[in-house]
Amino acid sequence: SDTEGVKDKKVNISSDKKSTMNLLVGDCDCTIKAVYKDAKTVQIVVAKSADPSLSSLYDTYNVEKNSTTFVTAPSAQSGMVFDHWECDDKDAIEDVNSVSTNVTVKDETISITPVYVKSDTPTFDVTVENGTGSGSYRSGDHISVVADPPKDGYMFYKWENVDNQGNSTGIAMTNEYCYITDFEMIDRYSSIAEIMYDNGTQVIFGGGNSQADSIFTATWKISHQVYGFGYGYDQNSMGNCLSSVVTDYRVAIVNALKEYKGGSYYEGNCSNNCLYVVDMSTQKTYKDKDGNEVEDKNYNESYAKIYKALSDGTIKPNLPADDVRTVVNSKCMTLNYWI
C-alpha cells in the first residue's frame, strides 16, 4: 500500500508474490500497486480457429519462457459444449480433454484452440449479471462465478439465484455470500417437472419436447408414485413411463415388419417399369401369342422419348427424398421404402 497517510497495518494482503490475492482493508481508503519485473516472455494464444488466417482470439496469456500456466477454455455458446483442445505441440497441453488444464511453453509462442461441439444432452444458459461465469452448461458441470468489484460506497452482499421469471433456479451455491463461489449445474427441465409433481400433477406428457427425458429424471426425485409420457422413442426402460409417442412412423413400420416377418427393400424407378400411362406404349411393335411382329397402335413417339430420358437419368424428377406426400406432383415415382 502506497496511499499517503495510510498505515500498512490497516491494509492486509494474503500474498505479495502472486498475481491474484485477497485484500483485507480496514476503515480507510487504500491504493495497491502491482509491480512487474523484466522477464523473457512468450504468449499462449487461445485462438478461435486453428486456421492461422483467421486471427480472431479468445484470450492471450503473457508468460515466462519454460513455464507452466493453468488455462481455462472460454464458456461455450448456447447449445454447445467443450470437447477438446487442439495444438501443434501435442506435449504442451497436460490434458487435451479437460476444459481447464496446464499448458507448458518453452521458448516461443504457442497457439491452442478449444473445440466445441453440439451437446447430445440438454444444455442450460447461465447469465451472470455483474460478474463472470456466463455460458452454456450441462447438468453436472461445475461453474465458478466471480462478482465484479463494487462501486464506490458499496460492498458485495450476496448472489441472487433466480431465473428470468423470478423463480428459484434450484441451484445450490457453495457460498452465496462470497463474491467468488461455485455451483453444480442441475437439469433445469427436470426441476420444472418436479415443481409440477409437487403441486399434484400425476402424469406429465412430453410430446413435442425433445428434452422429455428430464420428465423421468424428475419422477425419480418424488417420494410418491408419478408418471411420464415418453416422446420419440421407447422410454419404458427409464422407469415410471406409461407409454411413449411414436414420432417416425416409417421407422416404426420397418421395425414392426422386421420383428413380425423379416422384410426387404424394394427399389422402384423408371428403369424397371414403374411408370405407367394408359393407352400409350414405348414400343413400335410387339409379338403376339403366335410370335408374329405386330404394330402397336398405342405407340407414342413423344411418350417413348420422355420415358427413355427418365429411364437413363437424362431427366431427373425434382422430388424430395423420402417425401411421398409430393409424389402426386411428379411425373416419375421412385420408391425406396421397406415393404
Provide the residue ranges of all domains of the chain, joining segments of one domain with +: 1-35, 41-118, 188-247, 263-338
- Percentage helix, strand, coil for the chain under 3-state DSSP, each rounded to 5: 15, 30, 50
Give the pLDDT band of residue 331 (cuts 50, 70, 90).
Answer: very low
Q: For residue 155, what is its C-alpha cell?
A: 460492498
User: Per-residue pLDDT for 85 more than 90?
Assistant: yes
Q: For residue 51, what is its C-alpha cell?
A: 486456421
Mean pLDDT, to the nearest integer, of 208-234? 82
Comparing 80 with 326, the larger pLDDT belongs to 80
Choose from 110-119, 187-196, 232-241 the range with maximum mean pLDDT: 110-119
Lowest mean pLDDT across 177-191, 252-266, 313-327: 313-327
Percent of the residues in the chain that have a pLDDT greater than 70, as a whole number: 79
Give the pLDDT band of residue 221 (cuts 50, 70, 90).
Answer: confident
Of 126, 146, 123, which is closest to residue 135 (Cα–Cα)? 126
Q: What pLDDT sits at residue 112?
A: 92
Q: For residue 309, what is its C-alpha cell?
A: 430420358
Q: What is the residue-averaged pLDDT of the chain?
A: 79
User: Per-residue pLDDT for 106 more than 50?
Assistant: yes
Give the pLDDT band of residue 3 (cuts 50, 70, 90).
Answer: low
User: Per-residue pLDDT for 272 more than 50?
Assistant: no
Buried-state track 79-108, b at ≥16 Cβ within 10 A, e below 16: ebbbbbbbbeeeebbeeeeebebebbbeee
The three-state secondary structure class of 129 is: coil
User: Per-residue pLDDT for 334 more than 50?
Assistant: no
User: Per-residue pLDDT for 332 more than 90?
Assistant: no
Mean pLDDT, to the nearest integer, of 258-278? 55
